[in-house]
Amino acid sequence: MDKISKIFKIKDLRNKVIFVLAILIVFRIAAAVPIPSIDTLRLKEFFESNQLFSLISVFTGGGLSSLSIVMLGLGPYITASIIMQLLTMIFPSLEEIYKYSGEAGRAKFNQYSRLLTVPLAALQGYGFMLLLSRQGVLLPLNATQWFTSLAIVTAGAVFLMWLGELITEKNIGNGISVLIFAGIVASFPSSLRQTIAVFDYSQLFTYAAFAIIALIVIAGVVYLTEAQRNIPINYAKRVRGFKMYGGVSTYLPMRVNNAGVMPIIFALSILLFPGMIANFFAASSIGAVSNIANFFNGFIQNQTFYGIAYFVLVVVFTYFYTAVTFDPKSISENIQKQGGYIPGIRPGQATAQFLNHLLNRITLVGAVFLGVIAVLPNIVQSFTGITSFTVGGTSILIVVSVVLEVMKQVDAQISMYEY
């Protein structure tokens, strides 16, 4: 309560919080505005029978399940960011812009991601609308109505990207994570209402076990999100003029979950495309293409395959995102320039190799943890039979991580104002 009162006493911080809350209200209003020509009954049946799309809808704040103007959510922007970061490994000039050109280079790189978002949003929107049209969810549209609806959903994706960047600029959490957090929290009341509607007192023990598992997951998420390995660093004494510098010891924190929730968000974005492509070709007039697409679509819908693919993608993206955000070579060079060294390790290349080895071992724990959290809903549902909370561990991870991140940034700003 003391921190909350401090937030509202500091004018600048109070204005930032109010601004972010206003952005979230705008997001929720946009998620409730549907595009025209929807068969609501068919729409409900489609999402009840398709777990993957129901899961993705939660991360769009329910915008997909209601076919709102922001039905694509932040998926196109996230996909564009993944593609741009993968391209840094292929094109050295792009890596130079992203890693070594400072704030100006990072701004230019982000601008490329924004520009790539537009065609990706148009392509993804077309795929969604074509799929839903073939499922009978969208009523027949003429060419003008198709173009208008596609332009609306593309603009909606760009609009959400803009809202997310506005939140990021206020230093009250990462804009993308905050908007996804808002979408998940907005889905909780309907999930709870659905659970109460089908509540069976004979399964009271099952519901109690589910609640206990949820509490254990929350505790585990908080513990591993905050867990870190402290690497000791000593600084040699240096004499400049009549003053002596250095001679102190500090540590380099290496987090177990250095990637946060981004690997799960990346994995969900990638899982979406094979299903969309398979559904796109399922209605092909060419028999062989249609049969292959239907077989592949059925394979994707298999819960065992889906769980394994989800787990593997989360682990891979955890390593990928950690490699992008934590560069052992750059860190070892900075430590050496400042006259520092890790006890028992030679400065320079040996330090970089030590950090890289340690990073791989620590990231393995974080990657497996994220992967287990991602597939936890499938495991829990198979034992408890509770299908109302479709997101389960993933939603808990994102909600807890975003809350902790926001709290840290707010605490940092309060400390800055106090000093």
Cβ atoms of residues 13 and 414 within 8 Å: yes
Backbone angles phi, psi at 28, to 5 degrees: -70, -35
The structural domains of the chain, ordered by start, are 1-199 (1.10.3370.10), 201-388 (1.10.3370.10)
pLDDT of residue 199: 63
Task: Judge contact between 248 and 339, C-beta under 8 A.
Answer: no
Q: Cα separation of 86 and 266, whole Å?
A: 12
- The number of residues in the chain equals 419
The encoded tokens of residue 28 equal 């929720």
**Token pair for residue 30?**
């946009």
* pLDDT score, position 19: 92
Low-confidence ranges of the chain (pLDDT < 50): 390-391
Rounded CA gap, 191 and 400, in Å? 18
* pLDDT score of 242: 60
Give which of 121, 184, 124, 185 is closest to 155, Cα–Cα: 121
**Is residue 282 within 8 Å of residue 130, measured between CB atoms?**
no
pLDDT tens per residue, range 37-69? 776 677 767 766 666 666 666 666 566 767 788
pLDDT tens digit sequence for 305-321: 777 888 888 888 888 88
Tally the C-alpha atoms within 13 A of residue 49's C-alpha that lie toward its C-beta: 8
Dist. CA 232–CA 340, nearest whole Å: 10
CA of 78: how far to CAs of 75, 140, 152, 288, 354, in Å?
5, 31, 19, 33, 32
Which residue, 311, 314, 348, 318, is CA-closest to 333?
348
Residue 347: other Cβ atoms inside 10 A = 17
* Residues 265/180, Cβ–Cβ less than 8 Å: yes
38's enclosing H/E stretch is none
Residue 391, pLDDT score? 47
Q: What is the pLDDT of residue 222?
A: 79
Among residues 43, 349, 24, the alpha carbon closest in space to that of 184 is found at: 24
> What per-residue confidence (pLDDT) applies to 163?
92
What pLDDT does residue 283 have?
Answer: 63
What CA–CA distance (Å, rounded) separates 163 from 30? 11
Would you give the DSSP letter of residue 34? B
Edge-to-edge strand ranges of the sheet holding 249-255: 249-255, 228-235, 340-341
